[in-house]
Amino acid sequence: MIYLDYSATTKTDSRVLKYFNVVSDKYFANANSRYKLGRMSKSAIKKAGRQILNTLGFNDHEIIYTSCATEANNLAIKGAIEALKGTKNRVITTSFEHSSIIAPINALQRKGLLVSIVRIDSHGQVDLTHLQELMNPDVGLVSIGSVNSEIGIRQPIEEIAKIAHASGALFHCDATQSIGKEIVPLHVADLVTFSAHKFYGIKGIGALIKRKGVALDAQLHGGSSTTIYRAGTPNTPLILSLWKALFQVYKKHEQKYAKVKSLNTYLRELLTKIPSVVINSPSEALPHILNFSLLGHSSRKVVEILSRQEIYISNHSACLSNTRKSLAVLALTGDEKRALSSLRVSLSPSTTKQELRKFVSALKKAGNSR
């Protein structure tokens, strides 16, 4: 098996699984309970929260645990807009965002929210001049992800934050594709979202990191939890496993990043030898993601052909894998053919050059089939 879809999800680190089993046994009590066992669970959660915030470079934020990044994005967007009580009724976002950003914005738009789409430049980055032009007193939230999940394009989040804050707007950054892969100055954002399963953690746990003092309307009600912003019994073992996954993934980070960057360069070299391939990811994109188009071939068909050989890549983000074309590639290139034939390979430090050679060999054969 050759797995090259790490941006969709990662296999849980065995050390994280072992830790999860240990803490499931030790901290089984409800963290809301007032007796000793409950207080032990609550204390463990608080300690994990401090470690997570410290690891990610936050010192003026608090953490809200969710079931995944999708829930976190919904809470960030709906919660922030609803807390404004109509005083600011516009959101700015891009055409590059994940469906879990677009869907809650669309839901709010049907209720009267105004939405502005900021332009991107030829490299896929936000046009900061256009963003500045869009900023008006009615803008309550700017929601732009740190890295596009299909193409790997990084966004200048520090500059975006400055522009948003200068106009009195909040900045929400979906960092799902950044955390665990690189170190980003996420502390500039008011709201940051991510999910553990993207960095070898267990599925079912994500988080929204919120700047203290930012108002947020809860979306789940009933019963106390770790914060007032999300009801429900705290899942102590999953919360602790989130910290463990984060701790493990950032061990020897520079070494891991350098290896992935080297693999990306190697794969680019292999792909350029196929005449029908055009690479969509810019050279300055996050190296963990490489998007390209196999012109003249349906991306869904190529994924299916490779899957039969136990080689796993994707055509779009996993949440949009059934769509025919990549809207992100179309937005970047303006080319319908490239959008219809785009494919995404996502790498990890455990990927090998041998795997990449086998993948490219199989891709060539898939390109010759009709």
Catalytic site positions: 319
DSSP annotation of 194 reads: E
By three-state DSSP, how is residue 209 classified?
A: strand
Tell me which long-range contacts 103-111 makes (C-beta under 8 A, separation of at least 24): 103/74, 104/73, 104/74, 104/77, 104/78, 105/77, 105/143, 107/78, 108/77, 108/78, 108/81
Structure tokens at 74: 């919904």
Scored b (16 or more CB within 10 A) or e, 102-120 reads bbbbeebeeeebeebebeb
The amino acid present at 138, given as its one-letter code, is: D
DSSP annotation of 154 reads: B
Q: How far apart are CA 211 and CA 165, in angstroms?
A: 13
- Is-contact 114 138, C-beta < 8 A? yes
Angstrom CA distances, 258 to 137, 157, 348, stand at 43, 23, 11
CA angle 126, 150, 127 (to 5 degrees): 5
